[in-house]
Amino acid sequence: MDLAGKHLVLGMTGGIAAYKVCELARRLQDHGATVQVVMTRAAQEFVTSTTMQALSGKPVFTDQWGAEGGRVNNAMPHIDLTREADAIVVAPASAHFLAKTAQGLADDLLSTLVLARSCPLLVAPAMNVEMWNSAATQRNVQTLRGDGVELLGPGVGDQACGETGAGRMLEPSELLEDIIAFFQPKLLQDKRVLITAGPTFEPIDPVRGITNLSSGKMGFALARAAREAGAKVTLVTGPTQLPIPRGVRRLDVRTAREMHDDVMAYVNHAQVFIGVAAVADWHVSNAATSKLKKGGGAPALHFEPNPDILATVAQLPGAPFCVGFAAETDNVVEHAKAKLNSKRVQLVVANRAQDAMGSDASELHLVDAHGVTTLPADDKLAQARRIVAAIAQRLV
């Protein structure tokens, strides 16, 4: 319920992407928002107001003059509709709508309430690639950004007109993620955050290897939470099946040594380093280059230690603020305190390995030089947001 208590005005202008906004209206409510739909005349050429009324559970506003205006207290829908709103989201936002908004024109209900708003405006452009790239649209986009309007996308890809390029409206799931992010406090604005996640995989031969149990969920949740907080996030991840959070740069690696190398390549720019990955402590130094045969008997494997990525980063001159993770089966807090000192990091996040592995919720202990704070069990994104807040508090 990331949008609990939020009231959104969902403005729709004319564009074929309007059909995706039917889904968005539903998803926003699934996350706790109330949604008041306002449609332009062109939007109703693509989706009917009846459809949007059914999906939002509220009468849809389409006209500043008509009888529906009388439903609002003093018949001033252009004022009243947004006074209670936490934001106006316009999706799809046509090139024409962007131009009107950049100019401050107000010739229908949606443009009038956008001009009269006292809340933030988020727009999700949807148009043909040439319209998006045109000098006029780009000029209008610059103006809108300068006026503090939040641009959601557009995405790049196939378009309904048959062309390919920038101008595609973001998918409903992407818009939802961006709208949720918009409402999170910007505790790490413009900070660079480097995160490791997932397991590593150390080959024995081309088809076999040694790995650790790690779903990657906590590291990915932290990447999302840091990006929501305004950070520029790079995520170095071992093999996982998880989708990358929006706006996060992802570097895929397999072995601990590859993870180490990517971390070292990016760490200079980072103000925060969070080592969440379950890194293998050893690699096989005599890994075979062709598949080992069963008939050849059990292989004699030789192991060499992997670099300790977190400890290495923590010892760099001008090291970033370093956060380690400790999944322990017993004496969780004691082990975490020991790790804080042995790795010389500023914060260790500890949990019980049995509870944490692959699960969506776990109790966490934040251990630093001043003591221990326990975060009761909650889902990993909620916990990740608390960890981000704890880091931000310690950075200042």
Pattern 106-145, binding to ligand C5P, x per CB under 6 A? ----------------------------------------
If one counts every other C-beta atom within 10 angstroms of the C-beta of residue 392, the result is: 21
**Nearest approach, Cβ of residue 341 and ligand C5P (Å):** 12
Stretch that binds ligand C5P, among 147-155, 163-171, 184-192, 272-280 (CB under 6 A): 272-280
**Nearest approach, Cβ of residue 173 and ligand C5P (Å):** 29
Do 108 and 96 form a contact (C-beta atoms < 8 A)? no
If one counts every other C-beta atom within 10 angstroms of the C-beta of residue 312, the result is: 16
204: closest CA among 255, 259, 252?
255
156: closest CA among 181, 128, 134?
128
Strands 272-275 and 192-197: parallel
Structure tokens at 375: 């975060």
Stretch that binds ligand C5P, among 30-38, 119-127, 137-145, 269-277 (CB under 6 A): 269-277
> Is 161 known to be catalytic?
yes
User: Quick one: 90 or 279, whose CB is closer to ligand C5P?
Assistant: 279
For helices 135-146 and 95-103, give the axis angle rounded to 10 degrees: 50
When asked if residue 257 is in the footprint of ligand C5P (CB under 6 A), the reply is no
Stretch that binds ligand C5P, among 17-25, 86-94, 127-135, 303-311 (CB under 6 A): 303-311
User: Quick one: 8 or 326, whose CB is closer to ligand C5P?
Assistant: 326
Among 309, 332, 356, 367, indicate the residue that binds ligand C5P (CB under 6 A). 309
Among 91, 124, 175, 279, indicate the residue that binds ligand C5P (CB under 6 A). 279
Which one-letter amino acid corresponds to residue 74?
N
Stretch that binds ligand C5P, among 96-104, 276-284, 291-299, 365-373 (CB under 6 A): 276-284
Classify each residue of 222-243 as buried b or exposed e, where b means 16 or more C-beta atoms within 10 Å of its C-beta. bbbbbbbbbbbbbbbbbebebe
Among 125, 199, 320, 324, indicate the residue that binds ligand C5P (CB under 6 A). 324
When asked if residue 222 is in the footprint of ligand C5P (CB under 6 A), the reply is no
Stretch that binds ligand C5P, among 79-87, 176-184, 231-239, 274-282 (CB under 6 A): 274-282
When asked if residue 364 is in the footprint of ligand C5P (CB under 6 A), the reply is no
Q: Of all helices (H) and strands (E), which one includes residue 92?
A: strand 87-93
Pattern 338-357, binding to ligand C5P, x per CB under 6 A? -x------------------
**Nearest approach, Cβ of residue 306 and ligand C5P (Å):** 5
When asked if residue 256 is in the footprint of ligand C5P (CB under 6 A), the reply is yes
- 294: which residues sit within 8 A by CB, 6+ positions away? none
Do 204 and 292 form a contact (C-beta atoms < 8 A)? yes
If one counts every other C-beta atom within 10 angstroms of the C-beta of residue 186, the result is: 14
Among 86, 252, 258, 308, indicate the residue that binds ligand C5P (CB under 6 A). 308
Among 196, 255, 346, 383, indicate the residue that binds ligand C5P (CB under 6 A). 196
Give CA–CA dist 170/141, Å, rounded.
16
Which one-letter amino acid corresponds to residue 247?
G
In which residue are the tokens 């071992």 written? 238
Structure tokens at 43: 């939007």
What amino acid positions are annotated as catalytic residues? 161
| Residues at the site binding ligand C5P, with contacts judged by CB under 6 A | 196, 256, 275-277, 279, 281, 306, 308-310, 324-326, 339
